[in-house]
Amino acid sequence: MALLISPPELADLRDSGAPVRLLDVRWRLDRPEGRPEYLDGHLPGAVYVDLDHELARKGEPAEGRHPLPTRAALQDAARRWGLRADETVVIYDDVQSVAAARAWWLLSRSGIEDVRVLDGGLRAWIAAELPLETGDVQPRRGDIVLTELTGGVASIDDAAAWPGRGVLLDVRAPERYRGDLEPLDPVAGHVPGAVNLPTVAHLEAGRFRDPAAIRAAFAAAGASDGTPVAAYCGSGITAAHTALAGALAGIDVAVFPGSWSEWSHARGRLVATGPTPQGNVGRA
């Protein structure tokens, strides 16, 4: 099953009359509420998805900034979006498909078979001179049934043990990995043994690189030949983007949803700093 779809391919799919559900997941750290931009212009028929409240839940600081939603809550949200069985779900955002990848990861891991990300997102759609519409879309409530999230999820204990059995990727910017700065969480640094592979390495001009290039980037980080791979970021959003990149390259990537925001709040967890996987180790 295809994981990405280009703007022309999406336009053709819609024109064919195939059942397609479009989800607009605009979110970023400095402006998490994307609804105003959505109302100003979105793909025709796209439903707005609130990442903070529908693709995550409010939890305690020790759970990280974006704990996973319960199955019931995610299913209720998916029904609000109008999702039904046997339709193609296409997700997009306006910043490098990072937020869209979180929705892709949750829905595909919850039993929806045909979930795709619009490669290049809103910007690629506009560049292709395809139409937008304004205002809100309120679809008829769907009846999708989701399964419990199974497989591909790493706990904080899994993350701690992962470097001993495979490759744990820290997909944040290098300066956050090294511990040079930490704008959001109480402690700077990374999980001991983690290797830095920023998720932007898998993009070129806002679109995903070809599978061979992605595989080469993973291999350079030590993830090749069936090595178990897990990824974390700041709060589990960007790590899902790396999971999507891995899937494009045929590499299964588990996601540590709590990521650094959980690790840095957990008492007694070791913290490494510096440019190497070993770094300088202390305690959170």
Contact 214, 253 (CB under 8 A): no
Report d(CA 46, CA 35) in Å as an integer: 12
Contact 20, 90 (CB under 8 A): yes
Helix, strand or coil, per DSSP, at residue 118: strand
Radius of gyration of the chain (CA): 18
Report d(CA 69, CA 54) in Å as an integer: 7
- 139 phi, psi to nearest 5 deg: -75, 165
Report d(CA 47, CA 36) in Å as an integer: 13
The amino acid that residue 135 corresponds to is: G
Report d(CA 270, CA 160) in Å as an integer: 9
Total H helices, total E strands in the chain: 11, 13
Query: What is the pairing mode between strands 167-170 and 195-196?
Result: parallel
Report d(CA 243, CA 154) in Å as an integer: 12
Choose, from 233, 245, 253, 272, the residue flagged as catalytic: 233
Report d(CA 25, CA 81) in Å as an integer: 12
86 among known catalytic residues? no
Query: What is the pairing mode between strands 207-208 and 203-204?
Result: antiparallel
**CA nearest neighbour of 188 among 284, 62, 266:** 284
Distances (CA, A) of 259 to 25, 171, 185, 217, 238: 21, 10, 11, 21, 10
Q: Annotated active-site positions, please?
A: 233
